[in-house]
Amino acid sequence: RWVVSVKDDYTGEWKHSKSEGHDDYGLLVSEKARKYAIVKELDEIVSLKDGTIALQYEVRLQNGLECGGAYLKYLRPQDAGWKVKEFDNDSPYTIMFGPDKCGSTNKVHFIFKHKNPKTGEYVEHHLKFPPSVPYDKLSHVYTAVLKPDSELRILIDGEEKKKANFLSAEDFEPPLIPPKTIPDPDDKKPEDWDEQEKIPDPDAVKPDDWDEDAPMEIVDEDAVKPEGWLDDEPEEIDDPEATKPEDWDNEEDGEWEAPKIDNPKCELAPGCGEWKRPMKRNPAYKGKWHAPLIDNPNYKGIWKPQEIPNPDYFELERPQFDPIAAIGIEIWTMQDGILFDNILIASDEKVAKTYRETTWKPKFEVEKEKQKEEDKDSDSPGLSAVHKKAFDVLYMIADVPFLDPYKPKILDLIEKAEKQPNITIGVLVSIVVIILTFFFKILFGGKKPAVNVPEPRSEAAPETSDGQGSGGDKEDEDEDEDEEEETAA
């Protein structure tokens, strides 16, 4: 049975509802701009230490998702005295998995918490470059496959979107295995350490003919007043058609003056008023003299502290995940209509695949055909399908690792295009410009990157995902199917 959190923060109402166009029921987020929290304890604790584990569930964003989460939390066994109905953002989890989208954030999270065997503290590790969330309003099935060789595979609708290794520093931030050495936090830069690579040449002398006082511009003595210039005509005159308002009081409002208008006589003339010679660049201008730079003979390079053995370093052959004791949905969302269904934990990938084929795919095909019919009836037949393909390409581009510095900008452009499909082509062009800019910087160079001085490693856990909560009514219905190799919720 699913239990709704009684915590005050969670005011959203959960409903056991049908998916639009289907007879299949699921857990429905029924209200906008609410926090939601609901949890289900498993009949048996699921170990993640041996063999393959597939985490899978379906979610349909029936009203889209502009800002909110649709992810699951796989909770580890809680401390003594913890009550299911008190589930909230602070309830410790082992894995957090699923869509999250708001502003520049557009990702299918995979985050796991792992206990440091040296310190005993739990550290949150985020998958780098996670896949993006499908933008449409159809049902999608999300699968995370954890393999005994420490491999992780993320699938969306059965298609692999991301492969990673839990032990790889390239795949998770921070890495599961800490570095062997860290900068010595007690090491100090010597006072005589010179980091200035270039210095002014002390032997350089300012040339005798260098005039620092010469102005940048001088009057152009060769300039000639254009023929027809009206010296005696002002550029503006009083508006002859203007009249003083009847209620104008000179004592209170001051002396009335007619508003100015452009002098019509100046429209055909080269100019009006006093003519002055224009300024031109002074050929003798050199500006302030500076000695040329030369290599600093005392330059020692950018200082960095010496490396020392990391006291928190440890080695692992594979991750030591805490087991899963419950599944929770704890989200904040601005959209309603989010429907969760067919939540599954299986010890065999084939079981997860079977569920996809028998539960998700038939619904998806019906929804897809309905979408095609709606596209045919729309003013621009086939346009939605074209946009879908375009957005799929755009999100794939946003996920390219070397474009990560530009990802927030790219996602911002994509979101604008989603709201205004007529500017999709313009967005494509903008993203192409971003990519070309990146390559031009590589080919022709840019500012020389600064050399970072490594900072002492902090023991504090990284920024946690913004798992904000929600609330609702206790569910009366719950459909489970258990097979030998699976736990479904």
- The string of pLDDT tens digits covering residues 464-484 is 334 444 434 434 444 444 444
Q: Given this model, what pLDDT does residue 24 score? A: 86
What local confidence, expressed as pLDDT, does residue 447 receive? 43
**Among candidate residues 130, 123, 73, 127, the one with its CA nearest the CA of residue 97:** 73
pLDDT at residue 360 tops 90:
yes
What's the chain's average pLDDT?
85
- pLDDT, average across residues 222-243: 94
Looking at the chain, the whole-number percentage of residues with pLDDT higher than 90 is 69
More confident residue, 475 or 261: 261
Among 242-256, 373-387, 426-440, whose mean pLDDT is lowest? 373-387
| Range of weakest confidence among 189-193, 243-247, 425-429, 472-476 | 472-476
| CA–CA gap between residue 234 and residue 271 (Å, rounded) | 9
pLDDT bin (cut points 50, 70, 90) of residue 428 is low
Q: What pLDDT, on the 0 to 100 scale, is given for residue 251?
A: 87
Q: What was the pLDDT predicted at 115?
A: 94
Residue type, 200: P
Residue 27 pLDDT exceeds 60 = yes
| Nearest alpha carbon to residue 195 among 462, 456, 450, 396 | 450
CA distance 344 to 355: 9
Does pLDDT of 108 surpass 80? yes
**If phi over 0 gives left and psi between -120 and 50 gives alpha, with beta otherwise, what is residue 470?**
beta
- The mean pLDDT of 274-301, rounded to a whole number, is 95
Using CA atoms, how far apart are residues 340 and 427, in angstroms rounded to an integer?
Answer: 32
Q: What pLDDT was estimated at residue 488? A: 47
Q: Which structure tokens are listed for 141?
A: 């099935």
Give residue 374's pLDDT.
79
CA-wise closest residue to 41 among 390, 324, 365: 324
Q: What is the pLDDT at residue 99?
A: 96
pLDDT of residue 452: 40
Of 77-91, 273-287, 404-418, the least confident: 404-418
Residues 6+ apart with CB under 8 A from 479: 25
- Using only C-alpha atoms, what is the Rg of the chain? 34
Q: In the structure, what pLDDT confidence band is assigned to residue 141 with cuts at 50, 70 and 90?
A: very high
Q: 412 Cβ partners below 8 Å, 6+ apart?
A: 103, 104
CA distance 141 to 160: 12
* pLDDT in the model for residue 427: 63
Give all domains of the chain, ordered by start, each with its CATH number: 3-182+315-380+465-488 (2.60.120.200)
Task: Answer whether 89's CB lies under 8 Å from 127's CB.
Answer: no
Q: Look at residue 275 in the predicted model and tell me its pLDDT.
A: 94
Q: Report yes or no on whether pTM surpasses 0.75.
A: no
